Amino acid sequence: MSQTVSDFPVGRLHRWDLSGFKLALLTALTAAPLAHADAPLEYFLHSAGPAATPTMHLGWGLTAMCVAVVVIIAVLLAGALMRRRPPTAERVLGKEGGGMAWIYIGVGVSTVALLVSLFYTLVTLEAVAQPSLTPGLTITVTAYDWWWKIDYGDDTEPANHFATANEIHIPVGVPVKISLKSADVIHAFWVPRLAGKTQAIPGQVNAQWIEADAPGVYRGQCTQFCGSQHAHMAFDVIAQPQADFDAWRSAQVRQAALPADGQVKDGQKIFMDRCAGCHAVRGSDAAGAQAPDLTHVGSRQQLAAGTLTNTPTHLLDWIEHAQQIKPDSLMPSFTLNVQDAAALSAYLATLR
């Protein structure tokens, strides 16, 4: 039997379209977390280290339980709404029976579900409290309005002590202890893929540990509202193979080179006049302590706590327009003539 165009089941075609759409939506929803497995963002649905994995499993588990509760209640509610009832005249109060059973079931299931989630939460807290190995490396992180100071080593070992800003390097597969302080107000340190949140409280030293399973850049963010630029208080954790980490560390320990040529010398003079009160450059007389250490600023990927990518243009933009780029930040905007801007840029370019 031949089929003409008008016989074609349009209705069914329509339904096919819809199910294709649903399939695409479902695929997108389930694939999204996988596609983002390597995203360098605050992507908390895929953990990247043992301090975060138990918490992530707990999160998925509690979410699944909540979804199950909502679905079961929705089904029961739909069943109750669609159930046939006797005519009004025949309804007798209290005689139907069976109602109490649902109450016992509801209270019983809720009690079990809450106890299981309490127990699971306690087990998770215990699992992430301490790393399995004693951390070989301690990094002191101090939160400032609105940036992060990162200290490696301390004054007991001046030769190995250096400070950087908004960029934490760690070796892969090694637990690292974070000693957390605040210089002003309460902030919170959070690298979603590596560990839970920890507050940075003035006058107190809190501890957290992080460990990355694989090399990569893991984004962190202040998660306690700390003033107008709270949202621009990000940082990167860069996990590297041990050899790369050691190379990075020995490059950071080095002091800045002495300026050789004329323009760089002019730039350094401008820096000493206008910047050194706040910023330090090790190997020079600049020893300001209330702003990021700039000894190796050129080696960093971001400027001003994740606000700008670190390029020579952005660097000069930042110096001339800090108050427009990050209003209220504790760095003033500077007016520089073309010559001074070029000299300062030339000097800063040597700090890498």
Q: Which residues bind ligand HEC (CB under 6 A)?
A: 146-147, 165-166, 229, 274-275, 277-279, 291-292, 294, 297, 300, 303-305, 315, 318-319, 326, 329-332, 334, 344
Beta carbon of residue 205, minimum distance to ligand HEC (angstroms, whole number): 22
Nearer to ligand HEC, 143 or 319 (CB): 319
Q: Does 315 bind Cu ion (CB under 5 A)?
A: no
CB of 284 to ligand HEC, least distance (A): 13
* Minimum distance of ligand HEC from residue 317's CB (angstroms): 10
User: Choosing among ligand HEC, Cu ion, none, which partner's interface includes residue 234 (Cβ < 5 to 8 Å by kind)?
Assistant: none
CA-angle at 25, arms to 24 and 28, nearest 5°: 85
Residue 206, Cβ neighbours under 10 Å: how many?
A: 16
By a kind-dependent CB cut-off of 5 to 8 A, residue 281 interacts, out of Cu ion, ligand HEC, none, with none
Considering CB distances under 5 to 8 angstroms, the limit depending on partner class, which of Cu ion, ligand HEC, none binds residue 235? none
Distant-in-sequence, close-in-space partners of 319: CB < 8 Å, separation ≥ 6: 333, 334, 336, 341, 344
Binding-site partner at residue 334 among Cu ion, ligand HEC, none, CB < 5 to 8 Å by type: ligand HEC
Among residues 222, 270, 319, 346, the one that binds Cu ion under rule CB under 5 A = 222
Stretch that binds Cu ion, among 122-130, 214-222, 276-284, 290-298 (CB under 5 A): 214-222
147 within 8 A of 330, measured Cβ to Cβ: no
Of 127 and 330, which CB lies nearer to ligand HEC in the complex structure? 330
181 binds, among Cu ion, ligand HEC, none (CB under 5 to 8 A by kind): none
Kindly report the number of other CB atoms within 10 A of residue 299's CB atom: 15
Site membership for Cu ion, residue 305 (CB under 5 A):
no
Residue among 48, 51, 180, 233 that touches Cu ion (CB under 5 A): 233
Q: Which is nearer to Cu ion, 164 or 284 (CB)?
A: 164
What is the rounded CA–CA span in Å between residue 315 and residue 302?
10
Question: In angstroms, rounded to a whole number, what is the distance separating the alpha carbons of residues 138 and 177?
Answer: 5
Nearer to Cu ion, 184 or 213 (CB): 184
Which residue of 169, 187, 282, 300 would you call a contact of Cu ion, by CB under 5 A?
187
Residue closer to ligand HEC by CB (options 146, 209) is: 146
Residue 222 contact among Cu ion, ligand HEC, none, beta carbon within 5 to 8 Å by kind = Cu ion
Q: What residues contact 280, with CB distance under 8 A and at least 6 apart? A: 163, 286, 287, 288, 289, 293, 294, 295
Cβ-contact 243, 216 below 8 angstroms: no
Measured distance CA(133)–CA(143) in Å, rounded: 27
For 130, other C-beta atoms within 10 Å of its C-beta total 13
330 binds, among ligand HEC, Cu ion, none (CB under 5 to 8 A by kind): ligand HEC
Instruction: Provide the token pair at 71.
Output: 């679905």
* Residue 226 contacts which entry, ligand HEC, Cu ion, none (Cβ below 5-8 A, type-dependent): Cu ion
Which residue, 201 or 278, is less far from ligand HEC as judged by CB?
278
The site that binds Cu ion (CB under 5 A) totals a number of residues, namely: 4
Q: Rounded to whole angstroms, how far apart are CA atoms 241 and 323?
A: 38
The number of residues in the chain equals 352
3-state DSSP assignment of residue 105: helix
- Distance from first CA to last CA of the chain, Å, rounded? 80
Q: What angle do CA 16, 20, 26 make, to 5 degrees?
A: 145
Separation CA 9–CA 21 (nearest Å)? 19
**Residues 219/212, Cβ–Cβ less than 8 Å:** no
Q: What does the binding site for Cu ion look like in residue numbers (CB under 5 A)?
A: 187, 222, 226, 233
